[in-house]
Structure 1
Amino acid sequence: MEQLKSIHLPIEIVLNIITCSLPKSNVLLDPAHPITQLLVTFTLVCHETRKLATRYLCQHCIYLSSGPRLSSYLLTIPSRPELCNISALFLAPFGGTIDDQPTARWVRELLNYTCTTLKRLVIDIPLRSLYPEDDHLGVRDILRQGFQRLQNLEEFVSVQDELYLSVQDRFDTNNNERAFWRNFPKLKRLAVYNPMIDHLFWEDVAAMSNLECLVLTRADGLRDRNGSNFKTEYFHHCDRPLKVLLINTESHQVRYGNMRRHRWDEVDPEKKMTIMTYSIPLLFDDDHIAVCQDYVKIGAQYGTLWDWEGEIIQHRPSFVQQVPSGA
């Protein structure tokens, strides 16, 4: 019986197979995903497939979900400098606390390596697990040094907080430090958890000249006198369109009345700012915090978060002293 001969596909077809296997452009994949595994396999085939697969891994599959994974990645960079060209990153290297100086240094080193190319960043880091007055190792300042380098960032999601990187004592009455994400001048899409919404917050938002979409999960101050009048505060500082999405569980979602005197027609007659509430269903005894954070994290990873829509709000809420939702 005649022996079958092996068939060698042209390299152009092999490269096309790699390209056709990719997810949508704004999707981040974890290491166990089949597409991630496929791309890793192609890095071992030949020089051409390795080059292309590595580029796509840096666009879709840099998922550093533990300290050892981050450390291993950094140790690989000297021999494979192309791994510095990350455009999208999921970063969650800490456990239950950031009181871990070696991991903080690794984060700073990674961000120093990738600051010129990184455009999408999703972090799941417990920045409120260590307050400035208890930070005896200077961990918070180390992290600040890394995040301050991200001058080309266009999309940022903080799953667990509002990017709380203050190094000032939280009980200091003179602590007027502004939102840290103001350091990202090219930011177009921003999602933060449990920020305090007041007039200073909207001033910070207005200062972001490229911002198009703002996602606020379980925000505090939505019905405070200084935070509820979104449009008046925002348009006092700028005149740019903005989409705002307020995320919470159904039972904790902020409610808006229909009183004519609270409508925003005069403030925003062209409806440049769209404000929507997006309510997440809660099953049985699910934890409100965990459910909201998981929803946002998944939406951020798969690139759908910015397209979520809910009930459009045409009017500001009447003033009611709000009980903080807590972090």
Structure 2
Amino acid sequence: MEMLKPMHLPLELVLNVITCSLPKPNVLLRPAHPITQLLLQFTLVCHETRRVANRALREHCVYISSEARLCSLLLVIPSARPDLRQITALFLAPFSETIDDQPTATWIRELFNYTCTTLRRLIIDIPLRSVYPERDHLGVRNILREGFQRLEHLEEFVSVRDELFLDLHWHGGEPAFWTNWPKLRRLAIYNPASHPSFWRDVGKMSNLETLVMTRADGLRDYDIKTQYFRHCNRPLKVLLVNIDSQQMRFGNFRRGKWDNADPKKRMTIMTYSIPLFMDDDPIEVCQDYVRIGAEHGTLWNWEGEIIQHPPRFSQPPRLTEAISFFTQ
């Protein structure tokens, strides 16, 4: 009886299977995700599938969630996997509770030295506020600064836990560290201080299109539009993420001043309220919500309630004032 020969799928069809399996461009996948595992399998099929799968892995699957994963990546880059110097997107969370860890800080600097020419998207979940400058006896903040400063080609950045707090002096009045990245188009930061100096720094960013501010401070103290348009005339989308829907309802600024600062309506300000249940920690809920949105690639498309004009009251009205308003 004649043996049947095995049938081989055309290479074009196999490659089409890979490309059809890929997520949307802005998605970052965890190591255990089925697509990540599928791409790893395709690296073992043949030279051409390995080439295509490795490129997809560099774009979607570099997810460094521990010190061990960071170390293992650095061990293979110099000799076994020089192609990993071409990483374009990265999730980075190698620290646990504190950054007071000199070896890990040094490895981050080394990773950025390898990837700084190609890295375009970066999400970090790093507790930079766990060691303040005056307690930084190991000099880890300066090591991290040296690494992050190399990322001049970054276009999209998300800091889950803070505003990228890499100052060397506490309350030193230093410019925001992300001003070192001139190509930045999208920026998401946690708990920034919405002060005049902050909007001065935002105004310096000539390519910035979208700014996401989670649980920002000072929103009721300063007129965002007036502060921003003192330094530039570029359009900007601002998304204020919080569990408090009233964060911009009452402020110490007037509508006329608001309209004069932005007569062409170049700045869009929206509030985006995150649902919070009774026992939830608002800090953890907001941070997790933004991180997941960044990983899924949906964060930059979030839409909230547009603030058309500043509030009429300089402070929340008392109950009696509210009643009289509706009964007049």
TM-score greater than 0.5 by the shorter chain: yes
TM-score, normalising length from structure 2? 0.92
1:116 aligns with 2:113: no
CA–CA distance in 1 between the matches of 2:193 and 2:240?
A: 13
Aligned residue type for 2:212: V
Match of 1:325 in 2: none
1:232-243 matched pairs, under 5 angstroms: 232-243=226-237
Name 2:69's counterpart in structure 1: 69
List runs of 5+ in structure 1 lacking aligned partners: 322-327
Equivalent residue number for residue 181 of structure 2: 184
Q: Is the 1:253–1:279 contact (alpha carbons within 8 Å) kept by the matching residues of 2? A: no
- Partner in structure 1 of residue 210 of structure 2: 213
Structure 1 counterpart of 2:100, which letter? D
Aligned length: 314
State the match for 1:247 in structure 2.
241
The whole-number CA distance in structure 2 between the counterparts of 1:63 and 1:248 is 26
User: How many angstroms apart in 2 are the aligned matches of 1:291 and 1:253?
Assistant: 17
CA distance in 2, matches of 1:124, 1:5: 52
- Does the C-alpha gap of structure 1 residues 313 and 182 become closer, same or farther in structure 2, counting only changes over 3 Å? same
Q: How does 1:295-314 map to 2 (within 5 A)?
A: 295-314=289-308
Question: 1:107 maps to what in 2?
Answer: 108
Contact kept? 1:262, 1:315, Cα under 8 Å: no
Provide the residue aligned with 1:194 in structure 2: 191
Aligned amino acid, residue 246 of structure 1 = L
* Structure 1 SS opposite 2:310: coil
CA–CA distance in structure 2, aligned partners of residues 106 and 260 of structure 1: 49
SS in 2 for 1:18: helix
Q: 1:252 to 1:125 in 2, by over 3 A?
A: farther
Larger radius of gyration: 2
CA RMSD of the aligned region, Å?
1.9
Given residue 36 of structure 2, which amino acid in structure 1 is its aligned partner? T
Contact 1:264 1:314 in 2 (8 A): no
1:36 aligns with 2:36: yes
Structure with higher helix content: 2
How far apart in 1 are the matches of 2:315 and 2:126? 32
CA shift, 1:46, in A, is 1.3
- TM-score for the superposition, normalised by structure 1: 0.92
Deviation string, structure 1 residues 64-117 (Cα, Å, up to 9, x no partner)? 000000101111112110011111000000000000001001100001100000
Give aligned-pair identity as a percent. Answer: 69
Judged with a 3 Å threshold, the aligned counterparts in structure 2 of structure 1 residues 312 and 263 are, in CA distance, closer, same or farther, namely farther
Q: Which runs of 5 or more structure 2 residues have no equivalent in the other structure?
A: 317-328
Which amino acid is the alignment partner of residue 205 of structure 1? V
Quote the offset at 1:17 in angstroms: 1.1
| 1:37–1:204 Cα change, 3 Å | same
